[in-house]
Amino acid sequence: MGAPEKPPASRREDKLFGTPERWVREKQFLRTYRFVAGVDEVGRGALAGPVVAAAVILPSDFDHPELADSKCLSPEKREELYEIIVREAVSWAVARIENDVIDQIGILKASLRAMAKALQDLDPQPQLALIDGRFTTPWVGLQKAIIDGDALCRSIAAASIIAKVTRDRIMTEAAKQFPLYSFERHKGYATKQHLEALKAHGPCPLHRRSFRPISETERPEEAGSLRRRSFGLVFSP
């Protein structure tokens, strides 16, 4: 589909609410297409858990004053906007690729696969999909990759919120099964607390074995005992 769009430096400031350029890129596409979907993913850089993608088609007149890239919002505001988006959207869908598949095919391919699956589950199907980032997906329809898309396109910003809230809920629930890792706090990312838990207990079944530092510290002969310890059990050698 050609090279991804990269906004000029001035447009990188358009995350600020109420600026004249707000969502200008998507508004240009809406002059031609009725159903434009925004797509984003969350969890690419995490050490544990799935990568989650969301696709959202918004009504042409939707513009909440606090809608923004999920990274710019507090958890409470994301939850609030999540409820508004799922209520008002023409269509929305989420998809997840689990950590074992990520280890098999790589995080980039897994992310693109999740985004394609989310697009496939939309009804109606979009006439155009706007993908956050540099790459288009395996989805068969018309699509365009937009760098900093979550700052330029309202539907991508909405998708980033849906994906983030969904994945945060998944990891909070996972913390109940694997309490040693405090997933409810860091959601699987490489915080100091998470790295210390990994050092103390080894990886659990949700960890991505192909990701550093896990791939560098786990020796094959240790894998069985580390998995057993991750469930909170201690076995003598």
How many other CB atoms are found less than 10 A from the CB of residue 52? Answer: 28
User: Is 153 found in the same domain as 183?
Assistant: no
Domain total of the chain: 2
Q: What is the pTM of this model?
A: 0.84
Please report the pLDDT score of residue 230 as a whole number. 41
CATH number, domain containing residue 116:
3.30.420.10
- DSSP assignments along 179-191, one per residue: GGG-HHHHTTS--
User: Is 180 found in the same domain as 169?
Assistant: no
> Considering 143, 173, 203, which residue would you say is the last residue of a domain?
173
Please report the pLDDT score of residue 25 as a whole number. 84
Please report the pLDDT score of residue 114 as a whole number. 99
Which helix (DSSP H) or strand (DSSP E) does residue 52 occupy? strand 51-57
Cα-based torsion angle of the residue sequence 107, 109, 112, 113 in order, rounded to the nearest 10 degrees:
-110
Asked if the peptide bond before residue 220 counts as cis, ω within 30 degrees of 0, the response is no
User: Is 161 found in the same domain as 51?
Assistant: yes
User: Is 218 found in the same domain as 158?
Assistant: no
- The contacts of residue 147 (CB under 8 Å, 6+ apart) are 4, 5, 6, 7, 133, 134
User: Is 114 found in the same domain as 77?
Assistant: yes
Please report the pLDDT score of residue 43 as a whole number. 98
Please report the pLDDT score of residue 216 as a whole number. 84
Range of the domain at 180: 175-230
Q: How far is CA 136 from the centre of its chain?
A: 15
Please report the pLDDT score of residue 2 as a whole number. 53
Residue 28 within a domain:
yes
User: Is 22 found in the same domain as 131?
Assistant: yes
Please report the pLDDT score of residue 113 as a whole number. 99
For residue 152, what are its two tokens? Answer: 């330029």
C-alpha 128/C-alpha 34 separation (Å) is 9
User: Is 88 found in the same domain as 47?
Assistant: yes
CB 26 within 8 A of CB 144: no
User: Is 49 found in the same domain as 21?
Assistant: yes
Q: What angle do CA 64, 159, 213 make, to 5 degrees?
A: 135
Residue 81 within a domain:
yes
User: Is 155 found in the same domain as 92?
Assistant: yes
Please report the pLDDT score of residue 84 as a whole number. 98
User: Is 186 found in the same domain as 118?
Assistant: no
Residue 1 within a domain:
no
Rg for the chain (alpha carbons), in Å?
A: 19
Please report the pLDDT score of residue 7 as a whole number. 52
Pairing of strands 128-132, 36-42: parallel
User: Is 110 found in the same domain as 180?
Assistant: no
Please report the pLDDT score of residue 223 as a whole number. 44
Average pLDDT across each block of 10 residues of the chain; the chain has 237 residues. List them in order.
51 41 86 97 98 98 93 96 98 99 98 99 98 98 96 96 99 98 98 97 97 78 43 30
User: Is 126 found in the same domain as 93?
Assistant: yes
Residue 236 within a domain:
no
